[in-house]
Amino acid sequence: MKNTTEATMASTTNLMPDLAPWDYELLKASIARVGVLVPVLKDEYGNTIDGYQRERACQELAITDYRIETVAGLSEDQKRDRAFTLNLVRRRLDQKQMRELIAAELKRTPDLSDNWLALILGSTDKTVAAVRQELIATSEIPKLNALRGKDGKYRRVTRIVTNTAKEAERAQQALQILGDDAPCRDLDLRQVLSQAKRKKKDALTKGRHVEPPGKGDIKIYHCPRAYAPLFPGFSGVFMENITESYNVT
């Protein structure tokens, strides 16, 4: 299972420029009238990959329940690639915005080849190469002897579409429990909850307790209550009636 702290810290940020004011007002009016038609895309930890403008509009309209698509199994680079692809299909960036986007990605991953970055961003390799040379000339990125091309490897992806915030939260918790055991296909909420419940039951049978990571972890110490002073501030459970001896030192 993925390291939760790393996955949470590595949340995808809004990679695209904000919509022009008039475009945003049109989007907001549309959502007020017919709701969110294209689901907001999130990972299994609730981090937004695509749909920041739709989320912003919903917040301003006090809409809490809208369609969310949750995907699991994407690397951080794949989340960025997907965000770029989805946004660039819907938007038209001018030349200045595209060059700024290319520059930002080259600063982040200067070893990415011109062809691959052009494919991700919907630009041309010549434009990427020109921006690269400008950044090299100003010492903003290093000049590399070799660049990384597309390796053709794909990671497994699990996809769930929900209609309310509560459903999305339950889907994300279930996917965290399943981790790498999540099936590589589209699922509905009922299926993923059933599979997470089954995994928890199997883990309990084997003596392990599985829950989505959180701040409310419970600690159990196998020792007499007389040892309580050794654990200042501890508010967990002491188990005295056990069949094996545990030394607390």
Q: What is the rounded distance in angstroms from the CA atom of residue 96 to the CA atom of residue 54?
A: 24
Contacts of 39 (CB under 8 A, 6+ apart): 51, 66, 67, 68, 69, 161
The closest of 153, 75, 86 to 109, measured between CA atoms, is 75
Average pLDDT, the chain: 76
Amino acid at 15: L
Q: What is the pLDDT of residues 122-177, one digit of tens each?
A: 788 889 999 999 999 999 998 877 677 655 444 457 889 999 999 999 999 999 88
76 has a pLDDT exceeding 80? yes
**What was the pLDDT predicted at 155?**
47
Residue 228, pLDDT score? 55
Contacts of 77 (CB under 8 A, 6+ apart): 109
Query: What is the predicted pLDDT for the residue at 242?
Result: 42
Residue pair 53/38 in contact (Cβ under 8 Å)? The answer is no
**Helix/strand/coil for 237:** strand
What sections of 21-124 are H helices per DSSP?
21-34, 52-60, 76-90, 95-108, 114-121
Residue 1 confidence (pLDDT): 39
Between CA 175 and CA 195 the distance in angstroms is 9
**199 has a pLDDT exceeding 50:** yes
Closest listed residue to residue 68, CA positions, set 45, 90, 91: 45
191/112: higher pLDDT: 191
Q: Which residue has the tokens 């038609």?
A: 37
Give CA–CA dist 163/158, Å, rounded.
17
**CA angle, 97 as apex, 146 and 30 as ends, to 5°?**
130
Amino acid residing at 185? R
Q: Which residues pair with 41 in a beta bridge?
A: 50, 69
At 213 the pLDDT is: 60
Q: What is the rounded average pLDDT of the residues 174-203? A: 87
Q: Is 30 helix (H, G, I), strand (E, B) or coil?
A: helix
Q: Is the confidence at residue 59, as pLDDT, over 90?
A: yes
> Count H helices, E strands: the chain?
9, 7
Report the share of the chain in percent with pLDDT over 70.
71
